[in-house]
């Protein structure tokens, strides 16, 4: 997918390097306005909201043991 959608260096790191890079990207984007105008910080997000972990997923046929 990274080939068909141009990504910034921060976005590529978030895809390749995992949760720490995702957290950095989210912190950087927290004050960037959304298309509707408000920033993510201004949106009504519950304080109890928790980010879900990113899990690696392998696609393809399972190998027989």
Q: Which residue in 52, 56, 51 sits closest to 15, CA to CA? A: 56
Percent of the chain with pLDDT over 70: 86
So what's the pLDDT on residue 57? 72
Q: How confident is the model at residue 63 (pLDDT cuts 50, 70, 90)?
A: low
Domains in the chain: boundaries? 1-29
pLDDT in tens, 25-43: 888 888 899 999 999 888 8
Nearest to 44 by CA among 54, 34, 56: 34
The reported pLDDT for the residue numbered 3 is 61
Residue located via tokens 């997923």: 57
């Amino acid at each position: 997918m990274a080939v068909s959608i141009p990504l910034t260096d921060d976005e590529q790191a978030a895809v390749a390097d995992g949760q720490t890079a995702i957290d950095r990207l989210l912190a950087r984007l927290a004050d960037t306005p959304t298309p509707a105008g408000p920033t993510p910080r201004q949106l009504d997000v519950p304080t109890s909201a928790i980010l879900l972990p990113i899990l690696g997923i392998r696609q393809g046929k399972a190998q027989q043991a």
